[in-house]
Amino acid sequence: MTTERLDLARYADEITGQARRAAAELSLMTSGAKDAALGAAARAIRDSAAALKAENEKDLVAGRTAGLSTALLDRLELTDRRIEDMAAGLETVAALRDPVGEVITGWRLPNGLRIQKVRVPIGVILMIYESRPNVTADAAALTLKSGNACILRGGKEAVHSNLAIARILQKAIAEEGLPAAAINIVETTDRALVGNLLGMTGRIDLVIPRGGKALIARVASESTIPVLKHYEGICHTYVDEGADLEMAEQICLNAKVQRPGVCNAMETMLVHEKEAAAFLPRICRSMAAAGVELRGDEAARTICPDMKEAAEEDWSTEYLDLILSIKVVKSVEEAIGHIGTYGSGHSDAIVSRSMESIEKFTEGVDSSAVFVNASTRFNDGGQFGFGAEIGISTDKLHARGPVALEELTSYKYLVYGSGQLRE
């Protein structure tokens, strides 16, 4: 091993070692202590706005020099508004109910043993994320509140901002009596260290990559630690035979254009053939008016000849843009089949008045959230009432759909007896 690699191994050992010790301490902290620390962290962020902007400026200068796109530079920038949002976010998490200690269920056995299934923290969570520096504060708040120590590894383009935020948080929580190592930030931008960390089973309990598909795929393929993935959202809305077409139009528009760049936005619209002639002209007009480029199958283009022809790859593309693919289907079964083949199991909706169609769709579509007469845009921890979220899981193990405080916990069984023996 070269000295450099040895140094990385030593660094990984140190950061995970201190995180594990902090996690053990943190798991015994009261909600009151954790909430006070989050409150202090919020105040510290507000009080440090000027220093944060100075550090952020270093990233912005480096980003401009490196030729980052305007969009990326915008995501990178910490304005007064964004700093205030970060502080407010810490307070929001402090105000949420502590999931740790919740008795999920409990029962008594015939032999008198009393069993309680109790929520506990997971342990040490490694977060790997991309450009937005506010993720540093968001992730730290959610993991801390759920009793977990975190190791944060942000994008290298935001390194000064991320380090500055993490240092402020560490100092603030330490002053409130929490272990500073409840929040750890990776100081090196050496990508090799991530490889070290992803192999540290037993030291790190869960990895959450937050960013584009490529980042998530790379982390998942490299990690021997469980990874909670939020892959892409190829989301559908199916307009059923007999649907309220006014409602269908509003839902489809909302799902496509209200915020096209996010994972729960609609990418493909499926329309029952009996409604196509009535529905397609009106929805195409409103979509076009909203600036949406339309790509249809042959049947759709027969009715609306202006739209482009959809290619096979359109059905499996997450546009994250003002583009919509449209397909005419013969039945709810065909819609379900299309979603099963091309969808990503994220968010899919049916607009229908038929109990039979709705039953078939909700049973047959295997997605993290299935919507009936509502926009796919509601698949979100905030909208679901979870208060905050760290992402939307497309996994089926551990957590599916919005990942919030509960999803950042495990459980253990407490069994109370009076001398019971197994026969």
Give the interface with a copy of itself as residue ranges (CB under 8 A): 24, 27-28, 107, 109, 113, 115, 120, 122-123, 201, 205-206, 220-221, 224, 226, 244, 247, 250-251, 254, 258, 340, 362-364, 366-375, 377-379, 383-385, 395-398, 400-401, 410-423
Strands (E), 233-357: 235-239, 266-272, 293-296, 308-309, 323-329, 347-351
Task: Between 87 and 182, name the residue whose CB sits nearer to a copy of itself.
Answer: 182
Nearest Cα to Cα of residue 303 among 326, 337, 322? 326
Cβ 57 to a copy of itself shortest distance, Å: 34
Helix pair angle (80-95, 134-145), 10° resolution: 10
> In the structure encoding, which two tokens stand for residue 209, read together?
């990559």
Task: Between 173 and 243, name the residue whose CB sits nearer to a copy of itself.
Answer: 243
Cβ 23 to a copy of itself shortest distance, Å: 9
DSSP conformational letter for 66: T
Task: Between 17 and 43, name the residue whose CB sits nearer to a copy of itself.
Answer: 17
**Would you say 394 and 344 are in contact if contact means Cβ atoms under 8 Å apart?**
yes
Cβ 335 to a copy of itself shortest distance, Å: 15
Cβ 157 to a copy of itself shortest distance, Å: 29
- The enclosing H or E element of 386 equals none
Cβ 59 to a copy of itself shortest distance, Å: 32
> In the structure encoding, which two tokens stand for residue 413, read together?
């069984």
Query: Which distant-in-sequence residues (6+ apart) come within 8 Å of 216 by Cβ?
Result: 209, 227, 229, 230, 231
Cβ 394 to a copy of itself shortest distance, Å: 11
Q: Is 100 left (phi over 0), alpha (psi -120 to 50) or beta?
A: beta
Kindly report the backbone phi and psi dihedral angles of residue 266, in degrees, each rounded to the nearest multiple of 5, phi listed first.
-70, 140
Cβ 420 to a copy of itself shortest distance, Å: 5
Task: Between 44 and 349, name the residue whose CB sits nearer to a copy of itself.
Answer: 349
Cβ 102 to a copy of itself shortest distance, Å: 12
Task: Between 197 and 307, name the residue whose CB sits nearer to a copy of itself.
Answer: 197
Query: Which distant-in-sequence residues (6+ apart) come within 8 Å of 51 by Cβ?
Result: 164
How far apart are alpha carbons 208 and 408 in whole angstroms? 10
Task: Between 24 and 36, name the residue whose CB sits nearer to a copy of itself.
Answer: 24
**Would you say 327 and 338 are in contact if contact means Cβ atoms under 8 Å apart?**
yes
Task: Between 258 and 302, name the residue whose CB sits nearer to a copy of itself.
Answer: 258
How far apart are alpha carbons 375 and 68 in whole angstroms? 34
Task: Between 119 and 145, name the residue whose CB sits nearer to a copy of itself.
Answer: 119
The 10 Å Cβ neighbour count of residue 75 is 18
Cβ 339 to a copy of itself shortest distance, Å: 12
Using CA atoms of 77, 81, 82, 88 in order, give the dihedral in degrees to the nearest 10: 170
Task: Between 80 and 363, name the residue whose CB sits nearer to a copy of itself.
Answer: 363
Task: Between 42 and 369, name the residue whose CB sits nearer to a copy of itself.
Answer: 369
Cβ 16 to a copy of itself shortest distance, Å: 16
Kindly report the backbone phi and psi dihedral angles of residue 417, in degrees, each rounded to the nearest multiple of 5, phi listed first.
-135, -170
Task: Between 160 and 203, name the residue whose CB sits nearer to a copy of itself.
Answer: 203
Task: Give a three-class secondary structure readout of 209-263.
Answer: EECCHHHHHHHHHHCCCCECCCCCCCEEEEECCCCCHHHHHHHHHHHHHCCCCCC
SS3 349: strand
Cβ 304 to a copy of itself shortest distance, Å: 23
